[in-house]
């Protein structure tokens, strides 16, 4: 006998629209393990909406300047449950707001100028804040208030992402490259090539062990990332140096091996997609099972089931 499954029927109760700009993407705020809020750029302001009540909960705006919001990002504090909201503007300024959900108040925590042109992308992890403008990457420490700049890309930087608790930075740009940076030492230790044109976006899944990048052709490229513990690498280097010193009293030359890079990347294949327009956005769902690909200048959304792709590519 065939087993039938029954599902609850859901009917649309009501809908509401949110005012947003063409540049920034809508970011969901997962407060208390539920996405009941979303932040979007509206001209020179950032509106945080309550998705249950369809009302504006916060309005984030700066004191001076009328330039529009170009990008934004959020990060939740594990201790307090409050959020930091980083906002980049078209004139190169960056503002970081602290949003308190317990008191329903928001305050400006820090601000600085990243460059002369618009801020193209942002990311935040723990106390490290990263943004890109003028083909350079700015790293800002929230505790000390100090910053540093990374240069190595040519052209607009399209996406940045902090991994390994903020120790490693991944960036993509119009120069067709994806670069891996050591945040502590401020140097680039790996570069991914093979894209026919600018890399417009990338997305991480499977605990940052899977990287999928999108360019202007009809394929998405898949990379397998192997992570190493920096403490283990340092201990191994100390043992190897000690052993080499005991064996030979001459000059010691230690080559830079791949294992010292903290991350090794391996190209495992490509995923065909519909059309050849440039990729506007790549996002995985919370389970990491589905990949959403949005194409620029079209309301086209491609859906890929990454679990089947992972098995077929044989890298997990």
Specify the pLDDT at position 237: 45
Q: How many domains does the chain have?
A: 1
Q: What angle do CA 233, 238, 239 make, to 5 degrees?
A: 100
What pLDDT sits at residue 297?
A: 58
Residue 41 included in any domain: yes
- Residue 32 domain-assigned (yes or no): yes
pLDDT above 60: residue 244: no
> Does residue 169 register a pLDDT over 80?
yes
Q: What is the pLDDT of residue 313?
A: 45
pLDDT of residue 122: 92
Instruction: Assess if residue 27 is contained within a domain.
Output: yes
> Is residue 272 assigned to a domain?
no
CATH number for 43: 2.130.10.10
Residue 160 belongs to some domain of the structure:
no
Summarize the confidence of residues 60-83 as an average pLDDT. 82
> Does position 107 have pLDDT exceeding 70, yes or no?
yes
In a domain, 162, yes or no: no
How wide is the angle at C-alpha 212 spanned by C-alphas 39 and 87, nearest 5°? 25
Residue 316 within a domain: no
d(Cα 212, Cα 214) in Å, to the nearest integer? 7
pLDDT value at 7 more than 80: no
Higher pLDDT, 229 or 36: 36
Q: Which domain holds residue 77?
A: 20-151
d(Cα 311, Cα 316) in Å, to the nearest integer? 7
Neighbours of 150 (CB within 10 A): 22
> What is the distance, to the nearest Å, from the Cα of residue 207 to the centroid of all Cα atoms in its chain?
13
Give me the numbers of helices (H) and strands (E) for the chain, helices first please.
2, 23
Question: Which tops the pLDDT comparison, 260 or 123?
Answer: 123
Q: Does position 93 have pLDDT exceeding 50, yes or no?
A: yes
Among 92-96, 148-152, 287-291, the minimum mean pLDDT is found in 287-291
102, part of any domain: yes
- Residue range 68-74: average pLDDT? 89
């Amino acid at each position: 006998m065939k087993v039938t499954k029954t599902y609850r029927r859901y009917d649309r109760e009501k809908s509401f629209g949110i005012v947003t700009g063409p540049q920034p993407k809508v970011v969901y705020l997962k407060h208390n393990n539920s996405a009941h809020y979303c932040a979007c750029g509206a001209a020179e302001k950032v509106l945080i909406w309550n998705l249950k009540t369809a009302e504006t909960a916060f309005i984030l705006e700066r004191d001076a300047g009328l330039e529009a919001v170009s990008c934004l990002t959020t990060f939740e504090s594990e201790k307090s449950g409050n959020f930091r909201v980083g906002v980049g503007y078209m004139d190169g300024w960056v503002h970081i707001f602290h949003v308190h959900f317990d008191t329903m108040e928001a305050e400006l925590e820090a601000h600085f100028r990243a460059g002369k042109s618009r801020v193209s992308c942002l990311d935040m992890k723990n106390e490290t804040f990263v943004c890109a403008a003028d083909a350079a990457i700015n790293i800002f420490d929230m505790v000390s208030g100090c910053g540093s700049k990374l240069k190595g890309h040519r052209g607009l930087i399209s996406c940045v992402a902090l991994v390994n608790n903020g120790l490693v930075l991944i960036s993509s740009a119009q120069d067709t490259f994806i670069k891996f940076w050591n945040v502590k030492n401020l140097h680039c230790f790996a570069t991914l090539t093979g894209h026919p044109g600018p890399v417009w976006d990338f997305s991480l899944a499977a605990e940052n062990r899977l990287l999928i990048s999108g360019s202007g052709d009809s394929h998405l490229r898949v990379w397998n990332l192997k992570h190493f513990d920096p403490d283990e690498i340092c201990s191994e280097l100390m043992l190897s140096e000690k052993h080499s010193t005991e064996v030979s009293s001459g000059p010691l030359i230690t080559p830079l091996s791949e294992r010292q890079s903290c991350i090794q990347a391996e190209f495992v294949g490509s995923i065909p997609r519909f059309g050849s327009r440039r990729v506007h956005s790549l996002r995985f769902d919370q389970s990491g099972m589905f990949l959403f690909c949005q194409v620029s200048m079209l309301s086209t959304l491609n859906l890929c089931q990454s679990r089947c792709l992972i098995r077929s590519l044989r890298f997990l």
